[in-house]
Each structure stands twice: as C-alpha cells, then as structure tokens.
C-alpha cells in the first residue's frame, strides 16, 4: 500500500489531497472520494486506505482548499456532541460557499488529475462521498456522465438540488441514508425522482443509524452501518469499474 499527499491544480488555486493505492506498479480503477464536512483527517485516510486495499487508486481532495490546507479547523481526536455544534458553526459558512459552480469547477480538475495518474487504469471512475460530500459526488456524476460509472453517497443530502440533478446521471448509484435523516416517505419520494430520471440505483435507510454513521471518530459512528456501507460500495465498484 502506498499513500501520498498530492497537489491538484484548480481554477482557484491548488487543492491538497490524500491518495492511497496498491503501489504494485500496476494500473487500477480510479475512485474520487469526497470528504464529509469535518474534512481530511485520520479516519478518512483510513477509509481511503481500506478502499485502496481492494485494488483502487483513491483520491481524497480537500474541497475547502480555498480556505487553506487540511485541516481547515482544529479537530479533536474524537468529535463528541459537545464539539459538533461549535465545529459545524465554523464549517457551515464554508459549506454554504461551496456552490454548485465551485463543485463543478473543482470536479473538472479532480477528474482530470485522477485520470492522468500513471497508476490509474483507463476508463470511467467511481465517485463516493459522505455527508455533504455525497451531494458533491452526485453533482460530479451529473456533470460528467461519460466519465463516472458509479456513485455512492452516504448520509448525504443528495436531494438538495432538486430532482433535476438526477436527469443527466448515467452512473449506477447507491444511496445509504441514516435513519435519523430520512423518513420512509422521504425515501419513497426520492426513489420516484430517481426512477423518473432513469437512474439505475439502490437507495435504502440503514437501520438504527444517525447522520455521520460511517465516521469512527464521531459519536454518530455505527459499526454495523459502516460495514453495510462497505457491503454496498465494494460490489458497486467491482461491477462497474475495470482495470482497463
């Protein structure tokens, strides 16, 4: 396993990024992993390493690069309930500033950088995201239907842009929702929108979970939910991406 800190040129400066890949001299499918609001930190690096261990080149960009390199705010080792509100109040302006236009400008740079890496196999890539990063993943897939073959989003507000976002998506999609984020009625409505757009998808509520359940450094963490996430993500990528 090889890990690297990389610098991605974008239209608005340089984005720092974490990358993990098998490091065996071969070429492997690329996966763009969008961070959650708390950003690149040990738990996200570990998730990238885990995914890379299954045969992928995983790129995790710092989407708040306009503010500075990661971490853009000081984080405790464990994000508890008492820390969450203060951290979110500091991060929410950055989230709100990350408009759809910024997402798409950055996505162009991230995908160009990822697919140009000599360790990445030719062909379409996968995109996954957590929390608001899941929305960024869906926006990226909608903007690049020919370049993105798989999208997975977890505890993510993927419906925030309205159903029109789904229409251009040609990738296969999995959405893993927190039980605390979505009602069964909301799930049904989202499913109808995805069906109307012709998106090949699975979308489910993970039982007993709250927002942020994949992140082991937070009070929201749910071990069963994280495992279910891997049980859905890995087959999706295996079915849609190839080594070229």
- For residue 125, the domain's CATH number is 3.40.50.1820
pLDDT of 66 over the 60 cut: yes
The sign of the torsion formed by the CA atoms of 36, 230, 177, 196 equals positive
Residue 243 appears among annotated catalytic residues: no
Give the C-alpha separation, 177 to 77, whole Å. 25
Tally of structural domains, the chain: 1
The residue from 28, 174, 177, 211 that is catalytic is 211
Reference 136, options 6, 22, 15; nearest CA is 15
The pLDDT assigned to 242 comes to 85
Binning pLDDT at 50, 70 and 90, where does residue 244 land? Answer: low
Domain of residue 56, residue span: 2-240
State the catalytic residue, choosing from 28, 106, 131, 217.
131
105 touches 8 (CB < 8 A): no
Mean pLDDT to the nearest integer, 86-113: 96
Strands 172-178, 125-130: pairing kind: unpaired
- Out of 36, 181, 193, 217, which one is annotated catalytic? 181
Cis ω for the linkage preceding 244 (within 30 of 0): no
200 is catalytic: no
Mean pLDDT calculated for residue range 49-57? 98
Residue 211: active-site member: yes
């Amino acid at each position: 396993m090889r890990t690297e800190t990389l610098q991605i040129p974008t239209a608005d400066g340089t984005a720092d990024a974490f990358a993990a890949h098998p490091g065996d001299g071969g070429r492997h499918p690329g996966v763009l992993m969008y961070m959650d609001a708390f950003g690149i930190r040990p738990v996200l690096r570990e998730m990238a390493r885990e995914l890379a261990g299954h045969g992928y080149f995983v790129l995790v960009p710092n989407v708040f690069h306009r503010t500075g390199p990661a971490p853009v705010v000081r984080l405790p080792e464990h994000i508890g309930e008492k820390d969450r509100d203060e951290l979110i109040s500091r991060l929410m302006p950055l989230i709100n500033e990350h408009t759809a236009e910024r997402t798409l400008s950055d996505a162009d740079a991230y995908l160009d950088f990822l697919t140009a890496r000599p360790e990445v196999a030719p062909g379409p890539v996968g995109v996954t995201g957590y929390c608001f990063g899941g929305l960024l993943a869906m926006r990226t897939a909608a903007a690049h239907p020919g370049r993105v073959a798989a999208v997975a989003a977890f505890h993510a507000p993927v419906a925030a842009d309205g159903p029109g976002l789904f229409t251009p998506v040609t990738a296969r999609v999995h959405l893993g929702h927190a039980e605390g984020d979505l009602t069964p009625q909301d799930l049904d409505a989202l499913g109808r929108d995805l069906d109307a757009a012709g998106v090949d998808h699975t979308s489910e509520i993970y039982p007993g979970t709250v927002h942020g359940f994949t992140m082991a450094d937070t009070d929201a963490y749910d071990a069963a939910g994280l495992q279910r996430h891997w049980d859905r993500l890995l087959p999706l990528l295996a079915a849609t991406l190839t080594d070229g």
